[in-house]
Amino acid sequence: MGWLNGRARQRLALCLGLLLLVSLGLGLAIAGHPGATHALGSATGTAPDTQAPAPLPRPVASITPADGKPLNPTKPVVVHVENGTASAVTAKDAKTGDPVDGTLASDGTSWTSKGQLAYGSTYAVSVDMVDPAGAPVHQDLSASTLKPSTLAYPSFIPPPNQQTVGVGQPIVVRFNHPVHNRVAAQNALSVTSSPAQTGSWYWLSDTEVHYRPRTYWTAGSTITLKANMFGVDLGNGIYGETDRTETVHVHDAWVAKADGATEQMQIFDNGALVKTMPISLGSPGFPSHVGPHVITDKQPTIIMDSCTYGVCQGQPGYYKEQVDLDLRISNDGEFVHSAPWSVGSQGGANVSHGCVNLSPANAQWFFDHFGIGDVVEITNSGGPQLPLDDTFGDWELTWAQWQKGTAT
């Protein structure tokens, strides 16, 4: 290029440089185009790497509650399924093999047992599942129920063989072990009556609770007691042993009013005065308790022994003899009964050891018409009030006083 002058050579170099840049850019563009062959060099393009699809998550079953915490047997076993669905779930008592019924949810993600479980038991649970692709998966689980240190049984008064009672009969639940959580126990107890009547519970001790209405039961009432005690934590490792239900019927309202001032006893049937009898109450040395008494037992004949309340043979006032037509009205040895030996004093003087003495004829009439739960109200005897805890001293308290005995 000697023939070019300096300025021409500069222009030529600049043009060649621009041409080279354009060529390189065109080659890169072609090389970057999908499927194109590199314009420069002999290497050809390669296909991008392909990755295998991630594996599907495996179905997993679990039980509520988790971490091996024992179930209260009143609660169901619940199986949960994640990353799939359950096709079948079976459960059985691991020791006895007894099956446990349950319901599988329509979407297959849960199963819930039905019915009551047992204390201190382990249940084997078998779960068949399928993953989202339809592949089967099996899993075995187990669930255990709590084991109480002691079970408390609720017994009832009146008992099952005494289903018809008088208007004064309290409803009583007695436990064979102490109740440390009275609120829990009382929440598990219920009394309903027809016709409806306002009532309340009163705790006499850690093992005994009574229920009574504001006033005597309405004649003809039907009373239902329910003790849903199974699974109830009564405190200190004690749980309710079982559920129980009882229905009691109230007959006519028989109320006797024995007045120590007049030495007469008036008999009322559903509020109507039907008979008046001369009586003899407790002597000044052995006065009858005042207040409403409830008949708790009825026997045609018993042996009365004063030693049962501390007056024994050789002491003044001791006696032991057969007495007929007996209706117990307190646990302190007070009865309404036949007393042929005191007929001359009946209607004129109080000479008994605390009982209501009647002539044989009047005692027979009274025995034929009165029974468990009927009421004998004693006034003007000169004695102390019947103690609340003397079997059924429930009616000695006013309604306001009674309501203070509830746990809730």
Encode the chain (408 residues) as per-residue pLDDT tens digits. 443 344 444 443 433 343 333 343 433 333 444 444 333 334 445 555 567 677 778 999 999 877 678 999 999 999 999 999 999 999 999 999 999 999 999 999 999 999 999 999 999 999 999 999 999 999 999 999 999 999 999 999 999 888 899 999 999 999 999 999 999 999 999 999 999 999 999 999 999 999 999 999 999 999 999 999 999 999 999 999 999 999 999 999 999 999 999 999 999 999 999 999 999 999 999 999 999 999 999 999 999 888 877 789 888 878 888 999 999 999 988 999 999 999 999 999 999 999 999 999 999 999 999 999 999 999 999 999 999 999 999 999 999 999 999 999
In-domain check, residue 48: no
| Per-residue model confidence (pLDDT) at position 16 | 35
* Domain shared by 374 and 323, yes or no: yes
In-domain check, residue 52: no
* Domain shared by 76 and 182, yes or no: no
* Domain shared by 72 and 133, yes or no: yes
* Domain shared by 166 and 184, yes or no: yes
In-domain check, residue 20: no
- One DSSP character per residue, 51-108 reads PPPPPPPPPEEEEES-TTPPBPTTSPPEEEEESSEEEEEEEEETTT--B--EEE-TTS
In-domain check, residue 268: yes
> Please, are residues 372 and 298 in contact by the beta-carbon 8 Å criterion?
yes
Instruction: Give the tokens for residue 24.
Output: 């390189």
| Per-residue model confidence (pLDDT) at position 9 | 46
Q: Which of 144, 160, 177 is the last residue of a domain?
A: 144
CATH number of the domain at 287, please: 2.40.440.10
pTM of structure: 0.82
Residue 21, number of CB atoms within 10 A of its CB: 10
* Domain shared by 243 and 270, yes or no: no
Bond from prior residue into 195 cis (ω within 30 degrees of 0): yes
In-domain check, residue 408: no
| Per-residue model confidence (pLDDT) at position 48 | 57
Separation of first and last alpha carbons in the chain: 118
In-domain check, residue 225: yes
Q: Structural domain of residue 240, as residue ranges? A: 150-251
Q: Which of 94, 111, 144 is the last residue of a domain?
A: 144
* Domain shared by 382 and 318, yes or no: yes
Instruction: List the alpha helices (DSSP H) in 130-224.
Output: 182-187
In-domain check, residue 47: no
* Domain shared by 350 and 380, yes or no: yes
Q: Which of 90, 125, 144 is the last residue of a domain?
A: 144
| Per-residue model confidence (pLDDT) at position 25 | 44
| Per-residue model confidence (pLDDT) at position 28 | 34
Element (H, E) at 105: none
Identify the active-site residue in 210, 289, 293, 337.
337
* Domain shared by 347 and 260, yes or no: yes
C-alpha neighbours within 13 Å on the C-beta side of residue 404: 4
Cα–Cα dist 93/110, whole Å: 20
Is position 355 annotated as part of the catalytic site? Answer: yes
* Domain shared by 277 and 374, yes or no: yes
* Domain shared by 175 and 205, yes or no: yes
* Domain shared by 264 and 277, yes or no: yes
In-domain check, residue 205: yes
Number of domains in the chain: 3
* Domain shared by 383 and 259, yes or no: yes
CATH number of the domain at 120, please: 2.60.40.3780
